Amino acid sequence: MDGVLAVNKAKGMTSHDVVDLIRRRFHFKKVGHAGTLDPNATGVLVILIGSYTKLSSQFMSEDKEYEGSLIFGASSDTLDAWGKITPSGKTVNFTDEEIKNAFGKFLGETEQVPPMYSSVKVNGQKLYELARKGLSAQPAPRKIAVKNLDILKIKLPEVFFKLTCSKGTYVRQICADIGEDLGCGAYMASLARTRSGRFAIDESVPIEDIRKMTLPELEKIIIKV
């Protein structure tokens, strides 16, 4: 079988977990994905089956859309809510205008240094493996583009947002950078990928539905592009 499957990934699963589940359940030889989604993030994960695994770079190069939230007044070693949280001790009493101005600084094309807790490799080793050993490294900055960054709701210390960005963008790094810009620290509290290229969340199949499907049922929803 060859094609694309847009999966709505649940929290707590790695992207590899989803690939492995589909490979084992349906006895496929070749299964891959087009863009890693952090274990505690949810939403669209594009799964490539059969000959479509050769097109991974094409699908990965497409823009991604997310909805999430950040919390001001603390930092995290992993830059998100699942790491070690350290309060900054700074008062979080910014005006809406101050927050909007800070968010606006991260629009457009910039260079971003990947976070230590990421799968980026330095000298053949993944950064998160080094971080877990208490080691550090200096990954090279990467060019990214944040095309939209809209504030949906401000309920301090939490701010809810929506953004569209290029491949390879770490949203949790943007959250931490916004907190640094305001001088109070911040970490990503939640994240859902709502679109990956042409595939939207409302077109994606919940992973729990896939667990119950038969092969003929899966064949009906495989996409040929």
pLDDT in tens, 5-53: 999 999 999 999 999 999 999 999 999 999 889 899 999 999 999 999 9
Query: Are residues 186 and 85 part of one domain?
Result: yes
Give me the pLDDT at residue 113, please: 82
Give me the pLDDT at residue 115, please: 75
Give me the pLDDT at residue 132, please: 74
Q: How far apart are CA 108 and CA 106, in angstroms?
A: 7
Give me the pLDDT at residue 1, please: 87
Query: Are residues 138 and 166 part of one domain?
Result: yes
Q: How far apart are CA 201 and CA 206, in angstroms?
A: 9
Give me the pLDDT at residue 129, please: 65
Closest Cα to residue 52, out of 208, 199, 193? Answer: 199
The alpha carbon of residue 32 and the mean position of all alpha carbons in its chain are separated, in whole angstroms, by 17
Per-residue pLDDT band at 225 (split at 50, 70, 90): confident
Does 196 have pLDDT greater than 90? yes
pTM: predicted TM-score of the whole model, two decimal places: 0.90
Annotated catalytic residues are 38
Please write the tens of the pLDDT for every residue from 67-84. Answer: 999 999 999 999 999 999
CATH of the domain at 92: 3.30.2350.10
Query: Are residues 210 and 152 part of one domain?
Result: no
Query: Are residues 172 and 145 part of one domain?
Result: yes
Tokens of 58: 């094409």
Please write the tens of the pLDDT for every residue from 162-176. Answer: 999 999 899 999 999
Query: Are residues 169 and 100 part of one domain?
Result: yes
43 CB-contact burial (10 Å; exposed 0-12 / middle 13-18 / buried 19+) = buried
Q: How far apart are CA 163 and CA 220, in angstroms?
A: 32
Q: What residue numbers bound the domain in which 18 lies?
A: 3-61+197-221
Please write the tens of the pLDDT for every residue from 99-155. Answer: 999 999 999 999 998 776 666 676 667 766 666 767 676 777 889 999 999 999 999
Query: Are residues 210 and 105 part of one domain?
Result: no
Identify whether the C-beta of residue 153 lies closer than 8 Å to the C-beta of residue 172: no
Give me the pLDDT at residue 140, please: 74
> How many domains, the chain?
2
CA dihedral 55, 57, 23, 27 (to 10 degrees): 20
Q: How far apart are CA 176 and CA 188, in angstroms?
A: 7
Tokens of 21: 């589940």
